[in-house]
Amino acid sequence: MKKNLKINYLKLWLNKFPWKKKNDHKYSRGKLIIFGSQPNMIGSTILSSEAALRVGTGSVKIICSKKTLPIYSLKFPSVLKQEVNNLNFLKKLIIKEKNSVFIIGPGAGSNQLTKKRTKLILKHAKHAIIDADALTCFKKNPKELHRLLDKNKIITPHIKEFHTIFPNINKKITNYEKIVNASKITKCNIVLKGAHTLICSTTGSIVLNNHTSSELAVIGSGDVLCGIIGSLVGKNKLSPFLACCAAVWIHGDIAKKFGPGLIAEDIVKNIPNILKKLKNRK
């Protein structure tokens, strides 16, 4: 075992888990803002949003367009929606909501608009989870992304996305070596998703998650993981690193218990069951 590598297990984060307290209300439980997807990928944002609410965040707001607002209103009535159609308005919103946790990437589209939105978030918000298209939109200039990342930011690439944003890291070395090298470049929290997910802190501590299932290799699974992470980060909650460790473990535990035939919606639906189990083990 490498000296800075630990196995993901309950004692690492369970005693710090942000359970709802007797006097909590929706505003004390934190706010999560998720950037809506392209019209043909609405499900990505809904999966992230519902996962976050089930884990315990107090409020989720989806940033949507004039075209997608009616769809979100129909598909997910309980989530807040904010129509945003230009970058100036978006910048003002991010600054106003700078203490919220932001998620961008699921279903966003790897394009210039996603890139501009991601840059605004990274510049003006404290906590952010950057996933999928919000990573690969920096393909032509990954250093631009690297410069904007810090100790409060989380990136969640799978291996192909990882090499898109770290093109100079050798593809032939182990995933452990890859995440070590990436951590030196970005100084942010990294979740390198795979059969055995690796989680790296800004100080170089690395956790290996073996508590998982091959059933997670299904579309939408990563969107759910983003929502779980986002719900656990923020004021009076877990550090970004421990939030990643807890989220990846919970994600894996649900898949292990469910077994064959798992789809992303099943992960979301089974979040209450795993939370009850964890609360009994406090």
Name the pTM for this structure: 0.97
Angle at 108 between CA 169 and CA 51, to 5 degrees: 95
Instruction: Enter the DSSP assignment of 216.
Output: G
- Percent pLDDT > 90 in the chain is 96
Per-residue pLDDT tens for 137-160?
Answer: 999 999 999 999 999 999 999 999
Half-sphere exposure of 248 (CA within 13 A, CB side): 28
Q: What amino acid occupies position 163?
A: H
Q: What amino acid occupies position 75?
A: K
- Residues 199 and 8 sit within 8 Å (Cβ to Cβ): yes
Q: How far apart are CA 195 and CA 174, in angstroms?
A: 13
Q: How far apart are CA 162 and CA 142, in angstroms?
A: 11
- Residues 192 and 207 sit within 8 Å (Cβ to Cβ): no
Per-residue pLDDT tens for 208-241?
Answer: 999 999 999 999 999 999 999 999 999 999 999 9
Per-residue pLDDT tens for 86-130?
Answer: 999 999 999 999 999 999 999 999 999 999 999 999 999 999 999
DSSP 33-92: EEE---GGGHHHHHHHHHHHHHHT-SEEEEEE-TTTHHHHHHH-TTSEEEE--SHHHHHH
Per-residue pLDDT tens for 5-36?
Answer: 999 999 999 999 999 999 999 989 999 999 99
Per-residue pLDDT tens for 64-77?
Answer: 999 999 999 999 99
What the chain holds in terms of domains, given with CATH numbers, is: 5-12+26-280 (3.40.1190.20)
What's phi and psi for 154, nearest 5 deg? -130, 130
Q: What amino acid occupies position 26?
A: K
What's phi and psi for 59, nearest 5 deg? -150, 135
